C-alpha cells in the first residue's frame, strides 16, 4: 500500500518493503503476490525468562531499619 504511494508520488522505482509478522499466515502469500521482488518477510520471535528474587530475612530487616531511621 505505502510502496505504491511512494512509487507514484515520489517517483521512486527502487522502493523496497518489509513485512514483519508474528507467524506465517496465508495473507503473507497474497501480500507478496503484489510485489514478490520488492518485499522481504521476517517472522519475529519473542522470549523471556523470569528469575525469582529472594532476599534473606536478615538483609530485609537491615534494609527496613535503614528506611525507618
- At 45-66, the pLDDT tens digits run 999 998 887 766 666 667 777 7
C-beta separation of 31 from 3 below 8 A:
no
Round to whole Å and give the CA distance between 4 and 35: 10
Cell numbers at 39, concatenated: 518485499
- Rounded to the nearest 5 degrees, what angle is found at the Cα of 54, between the Cα atoms of 48 and 60? 140
Cell numbers at 22, concatenated: 508474528
- At 28-40, the pLDDT tens digits run 888 888 777 788 8
Q: Which residues contact 36 (CB under 8 A, 6 or more apart)?
A: none
Amino acid at each position: 500500500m505505502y510502496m505504491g504511494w511512494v512509487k507514484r508520488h515520489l517517483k521512486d522505482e527502487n522502493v523496497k518493503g518489509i513485512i514483519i509478522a508474528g507467524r506465517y499466515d496465508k495473507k503473507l502469500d497474497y501480500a507478496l503476490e503484489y510485489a514478490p521482488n520488492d518485499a522481504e518477510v521476517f517472522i519475529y520471535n519473542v522470549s523471556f525468562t523470569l528469575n525469582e528474587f529472594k532476599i534473606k530475612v536478615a538483609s530485609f530487616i537491615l534494609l527496613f531499619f535503614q528506611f525507618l531511621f
